[in-house]
Structure 1
Amino acid sequence: MEEASQQSSLQSASQLLSHRPVQQNPRDDEALPKLVLHFAVNPAATVTWRVTADAELRVHSERIWLTRICSPYDYWMNAGETMRLQRGERIWLSTDGHEAARVSLTSAWHAPRTVLARVSRLFNSVFRVFAT
């Protein structure tokens, strides 16, 4: 009897959850347009990368080995798997396959900052220091 009541309560809870509208992350809209870098990791080679913006690493073919400087663990990722990477972290990638592994890094695209924008930002920060 108890199992039947637990199953019915689980079913009603799952029905409620399945009908709940999906809330989108407000940062999803900010991530448009996106910059996608596709590259290959050749067998018996190690690729290192310093992530300059929050990104998503996606494996498209073969299996890769991923080491992150901020983690004590190594990861084996198969085709189709993804991992979120944070700005500033360094990663190392290699493959144990006989073919090159195809990988992509996706991040939000940001317009390059011009010298004028940097000078303006510096001026504003200095002005705030003297204004206080």
Structure 2
Amino acid sequence: MREISTSVTFEINPGETVPMRIARGTRLTVHGSPVWATRSNDIEDYWLAPGDRLNLRERERLWLSAEGDKPARVVFTILPRRDERAIRWLSTRIERLALRFRAGWRTV
């Protein structure tokens, strides 16, 4: 079973089923052929056409299968955690405030 812990792209051949475990919150994007997805703790299966996206939960298990006659390319993008997003937002605001503060002193 593959573990997805970083952003990665790979191909799934037609008729192949790939089991995986998601280590962190991740966004799955499909390219090429459609993909059939089954998720742990979810009674629904997902039919994903090229261009479709699916947000995946941390620690969930996932089984992907390529449908059609050509390989599917799947892109896993790690999503920043809430604390990482909050720190990034706060640091950006502090930098902007500091730039305004410095610009204000130059005009005095």
Q: Give the TM-score, by structure 1 length.
A: 0.54
Identity %: 36
Q: Take 1:44 and 1:59, find their aligned partners in 2: how far apart are those partners?
A: 16
Aligned ranges for residues 1-132 of structure 1 at < 5 Å?
35-108=6-79
Runs of 4+ in 1 over 6 A off after TM superposition: none
Displacement of 1:108: 4.4
Displacement of 1:69: 0.8
Q: Partner amino acid for 1:68? A: R
Q: Take 2:19 and 2:37, find their aligned partners in 1: how far apart are those partners?
A: 10
Could you list the runs of 5+ residues in structure 2 that have no partner in the other structure? Answer: 1-5, 81-108
Deviations 1:31-53 (A, max 9, x none): xxxx4200011111100110000
Q: Take 1:56 and 1:39, find their aligned partners in 2: how far apart are those partners?
A: 14
Greater helix fraction, Structure 1 or Structure 2: 1
Could you list the runs of 5+ residues in structure 1 that have no partner in the other structure? Answer: 1-34, 110-132
Relative contact order (C-alpha < 8 Å, sep 6+): which is higher? 2
Aligned residues: CA RMSD = 1.6
The alignment of Structure 1 onto Structure 2 pairs a total of residues equal to 76
Q: Partner amino acid for 2:61? A: R
Structure (1 or 2) with the larger CA radius of gyration? 1
